[in-house]
Structure 1
Amino acid sequence: MRYSIVLLSLVAIIAATVVPMISAACINNNLVRKEIRQLTPAELTKYINAVTLARRALPRPGPTQYDTFARIHAMQGYFIHSGANFLPWHRYYLRQYELLLQSVINDPTLTVPYWDWTLDYQNPSASVIFTDPYFGGNGGSASCVTNGKLGQWRPLYNWAGNASAHCLKRSFGEGMSRYPSPATLQTLISGSATYANLATNIEIGPHNLVHSSIGGDMKEAISPNDALFFSHHANVDRLWANWQDANPTLAGTYNGKNITGQRVGLTDILHGFPGITVSKVMKASTMGYCYSATTASAAARSAQTLDDESEEPLPNWPPVSAEFMASKGIDPKVQAEVTARINNIIDALNDANGF
């Protein structure tokens, strides 16, 4: 049986019946975050120029606006991961980044593009986003990135948030060969019965895999040093927004625990953002943006070839090192549960395709 044909059919069925391809809010919302390969040349240039301007040194000595913004994530790192507040905190943080970029080029129409990494699941390192017109590729000597419109620069802060200027680093790892297929991800998201399930499935599963597989700065608390961070997290936020659209009775729910084991609530304050409660970020549309669908044209530019003669099954989820789990505050039991859940989905897809 030809795997890719069956897989694409399954993806089409799931997308059509479970997760909306685009939020209804986009009908009346002019700020639409697109998949990065959907951007026109002018839109891509505008985004690159905005990031470049934010990275320029201010007239006085000190960090750039971009450096300062990246450091916020490093300083809050412990409190904003491995817990229910992961999604709302990063939604707000990403929106503030978008507003920063709009301000530096004086253009309120600019949006942060998302990176749909399922388009590249067969061979992520071959994705067009890792080429010179976009983010640049893997690091070379000392893991330093030496190409890419958004890859060549020297961040100021290290993983601890201390001043320590260095080249932007990437070090591709084993996980680069095991990104989730569209069907795997859609099944994982649509099978999340509560907000707490969703947050855990996304963060501990594909979110962490992308960070760890790219390595370098992306593997550390200072991961926003790499502009790829924001397109990655825009996709994470898109998954939450799509789940909310698909589950209107659950869209406003917020449950589970934070990393310290405390139960969460809508009145919780987002760490590092005084006065901003979770309730204020529960709807993307009220924050002024929405997401486009991933189109066939974007898929065509993904640098991936779906071989309709392929007889290879989807590989199982890669193991997660004890070191990485410790650095992110991940409970090994939770990691094992999410890994098993994803592998069960992969096994079912492989069985359905005759493997």
Structure 2
Amino acid sequence: MKTNKSPRRDFLKTMGWSTIGLSTLPLATSSISSCQTKPTEKAQTKNSNSLAVRKNIADFAPDDPEIKLFKDALNILKKRSEVSPLDPSGWQAHGMLHATFCATSIYANQVHYNWYVWPWHRLYLWSMEQKLQKAVNEPTLALHYWDWTKAPNIPDHYWGNESNPLFNVTRMVGPENELPKDFINVGAGFRAEHYKTFGGYPAIKKRGEAQLDGLAEQSFHNNIHNWIGGQMATFTESGFDPIFYAHHGNCDRIWDAWRAYSPKNTLPEDEEWLEKRLFATDGNGTPVDFKIKDLLNTEDLGYRFNDLDLNPTYCNPYEEADKPERNASAQDCVAPLNLETSQTDAIYKEFINKERTHVILHFERAQLPYQPYCARVFFEYDKEGERQSKYTGTFTILPILDLDSVLLQNGVHLQIEIEKEIAEAIEQEKNIEVIFQPVPLPNRNIPDEILKLENISLKLNYEDA
């Protein structure tokens, strides 16, 4: 490891990581739920002086010693896989670990489309961080996150050529491409008081049950994966693009920020969730498992975030001028809201003391291409002789498979936030049309095949359906 000694020495010298220096960094704390438990032996709480501190990579110069050490560690993992693709501590095996639990229709393993998505991905990032630390023998080496609310372009660190271990040639965007504002709106998720709304409902147990992934997964998480394209837009290979760890690092941070946003934002207390065992590998590539209750405090896992501050522009409520406009196109899907199957009275009563609330938009897909489908969702109706078009969010709909099957689930559920004016139109039994307006992505065409939907309805909670 001779080649790594100098970057590591420069890194520590530059950061001034002495006992006093590190302890004076701002501690990002979150409101810990009453279901918090003590760590297991596998995740002993570290002294604050030895915690890895995760920071926004866009705040560093590409040639910063901290970045150089990070790249050195990543190169070591990649070289291990060149020698032996099956090396469990190598880059190849780690990427396949993501596919094992995300690109699967075996629902005993699947962590997407349900409330396991954020705990498992926290464990997956911990697994990568442990491997990087051991590769250069630096226990405080931290993964970086990409705060796309402050830097909507992929940071310069991830560009160049194959000599840069952070580069990935499959991306469909370039350094000049900027994320659309509505792709990175986190406000609707922050105002979701129930974890089921933010993070997803329990995993389905039999074929035909509804899969309800959370608002955070359906919106900014999926949108950014799909926007980047290439390997990042697939479950099978996204773990092989280094930008994955920066994107999910920010998603992990947003989960903590959601908990800190309001004392009403609480985690599940269900034993089914807290006692669920999730699997990954440690820094040596050895299989390990953690219960979710042992993954809820990042310091128990050896790291913390330098801050939980996001660009308030993306924390809603949007200014009207910032909302996407409705621009009709031949690819738009337009279908009526079925008031008979919607919970109209319950939704209207929910707005007695509120200006906005979360609901579940359900539809049956009569036709949907086997690919991610990104769309802006609008509600349209007449009001005082004028056509109103109300934007409710931008979502990437995935071709979700049914339980232990290769067939698509027919029913789709989106967790969205609507404004009071929409509830009033529902209560007045107006003819409301729901529009899915497909979003053009860089260097890709909108699918010619129009999304065909049937029986669109709104409900407050799935259990009330």
TM, length-normalised to structure 2: 0.50
1:23 matches 2:29:
yes
Query: Would you say 1:66 and 2:91 are equivalent positions?
Result: yes
Does the C-alpha gap of structure 1 residues 252 and 196 become closer, same or farther in structure 2, counting only changes over 3 Å?
closer
Matched residues in 1 for 2:135 and 2:92: separation? 14
In structure 1, the residue matched to 2:70 is 47
Name the structure 1 match of 2:171: 170
For 1:1-355, what aligned pairs fall within 5 Å after superposition?
22-23=28-29, 28=48, 30-39=51-60, 41-57=64-80, 60-63=83-86, 65-77=90-102, 78=104, 79-120=110-151, 124=152, 127=153, 129=155, 131=156, 134-136=157-159, 146=161, 149-152=164-167, 168-172=169-173, 177-180=179-182, 184-185=185-186, 187-199=187-199, 200-221=214-235, 222-247=237-262, 250-253=265-268, 264-271=272-279, 275-293=289-307, 313-315=322-324, 322-323=369-370, 324=372, 325-329=397-401, 337-338=414-415, 340-341=416-417
CA 1:266–1:215 in 2, change beyond 3 Å: closer, same or farther? same
Identity %: 22
Count how many residue pairs are aligned between Structure 1 and Structure 2. 272
| Paired residue secondary structure (1:32) | strand
Gaps of 5+ in 2: 1-25, 32-45, 105-109, 200-213, 281-286, 312-319, 334-367, 373-396, 402-407, 423-465
Q: Determine helix, strand or coil for the equivalent of 1:62.
A: coil
Change (3 A) 1:21 1:191: farther
Q: What TM-score does the superposition give when structure 1 sets the normalisation length?
A: 0.64
| Contact residue 30 and residue 256 of structure 2 kept, 8 A | no
RMSD: 4.0
Letter of the 1:279 partner, please give it.
Answer: K
More helix by share: 1
Runs (5+) with no aligned partner, structure 1? 1-19, 138-145, 154-167, 256-262, 300-310, 348-355
Deviation at 1:243, TM superposition (A): 1.9
Q: Distance in 2 between matches of 1:51 and 1:292?
A: 22
Change (3 A) 1:21 1:239: farther
3-state secondary structure, aligned to 2:113: coil
Query: Rg larger in 1 or in 2?
Result: 2
Task: Tell me, yes or no, if the aligned pair for 1:195 and 1:253 is still in contact at 8 Å.
Answer: yes
SS at match of 1:276: strand
1:258 corresponds to: none
- Report what 2:405 is aligned to: none
Q: For residues 54-93 of structure 1, what are the alpha-carbon distances to aligned partners after superposition, in whole Å with 9 as ceiling and x for unaligned? A: 1113585434601100001111113011110000000111
Q: Which has the higher contact order (CA 8 A, sep 6+)?
A: 1
Q: Residue 163 of structure 1 corresponds to which residue in structure 2?
A: none
Check whether the contact 1:35–1:294 (CA below 8 A) recurs between aligned residues: no
1:282-321 CA distances to partner (integer Å, 9 max, x unpaired)?
111221211123789xx8xxxxxxxxxxx96332699997
Whole-Å separation in 2 of the counterparts to 1:239 and 1:150: 26
